[in-house]
Amino acid sequence: MNRTKGIFFGIMAAFIYGFTPILGKMSYMEGSNSLSLTFYRNFLSIPLLFFMLKFNNISVKINKVETKKLAVLSSLGPTLTALTLYGSFNYISVGMSTTIHYIYPVLVTAACIMIFKEKVSKEIIIALILSTIGVMMFLEGNFSLLGVFLSFASGVIFAAHLIYIDKSGLNSMYPFKITFYLSIFSSVYLFLFGILSKTLVFDITPVGWLFTLSVAFFASFLANSFILIGVKHAGPTITSIVGMFEPITSIILGIIFLKEPLTTRNIIACILILAGVLIVSIVKDKKIEN
């Protein structure tokens, strides 16, 4: 196991996940919107994912039970999570939105405690308190409550997405096979909803299409590949810890390219949320070792 290699690719994945929201928000300025970006990100990644499956000689066949589970799962992560997260960019900064969204590891742990009656430690309680205070700090000031709600909702939905993967048994399936079918189902959902609601746009500037293609390629293809390499060589816990570069990247690049404001209050809130995530990751690592 080459841990250095795993950490490197884990950081690269976090960096990509961190800067693609910047590209997404910039695509809005070129005629796109949150639903269209979510649809095109999924739809345009399908050929890339199919190629990867064929390249690795992975069968694309699934049975009826798997089809139903994937149909449910696709409504969570690639559809509702992306819609709420990308939608929040219309109201609050990308950095703030990404940081609030990143509370999902803590939410997963909290759900497992409350719903599945898993044992709770004092470290987990501290993590939940820190993260909750961090989110609450965003609820004051000159920021949109709707934007905060949408980004928080994206974290809640993504937490449900991760829990469903584990509890449904889909975690035994090849990761890119899951992503391939999630992209297909999500594309269908978003296309139908976009057409019926007349929110799916096609009249996007060439620059907007470039941003959209970049989001699909970097986020759905490259970053997903780098995450797998990171987990393989460094383990899931270390990969999740270096993943905290994601919101940090969004904050820094949001300030540089989108001229987004940053206050001392926001910095403290981000630190509290990331501290909670770090504590949860470390505690999980100890449980795995024991």
Give the 3-state DSSP-derived string for 112-178, with helices as H, strands as E and coil as C.
HHHCCCCCCCHHHHHHHHHHHHHHHHCCCCCCCHHHHHHHHHHHHHHHHHHHHHHHHCHHHCCHHHH
In eight-state DSSP terms, residue 220 is I
If we measure between CA atoms, which residue out of 202, 222, 118, 112 comes closest to residue 164?
112
Of residues 116 and 273, more confidently modeled: 273
Nearest to 278 by CA among 110, 140, 106, 154: 106
Count of Cβ atoms closer than 10 Å to residue 129 Cβ: 13
> Which residues are within 8 A (CB) of 9 and not within 5 positions of it... i.e. 6 or more apart?
226, 227, 229, 230, 233
Give the integer Cα–Cα distance in Å for 104 and 152. 9
Question: Which has more pLDDT, 187 or 275?
Answer: 187
Domain ranges in the chain?
Answer: 3-289
Q: Are 214 and 34 in contact (CB under 8 A)?
A: no
pLDDT exceeds 80 at position 286? no
DSSP reduced 3-state for 58 = coil
> What was the pLDDT predicted at 120?
66
Q: Is the pLDDT of residue 140 over 90?
A: no
Element (H, E) at 273: helix 264-289
| Burial state string for 80-101 with b = 16 or more CB within 10 A and e = fewer than 16 | bbbbbbbbbbebbbbbbbbbbb
- Predicted pLDDT at 237: 57
pTM, entire model: 0.80
pLDDT at 70 over 80: yes
- pLDDT for 154-169, tens place per residue? 989 988 887 888 788 8
Average pLDDT over residues 116-129: 75
Write down the pLDDT at residue 130. Answer: 86
CB count, 10 Å around CB of 37?
Answer: 30
* Alpha-carbon span 85 to 103, nearest angstrom: 13
Cα torsion through 265, 266, 269, 273, rounded to 10? -170
Structure tokens at 247: 């919101």
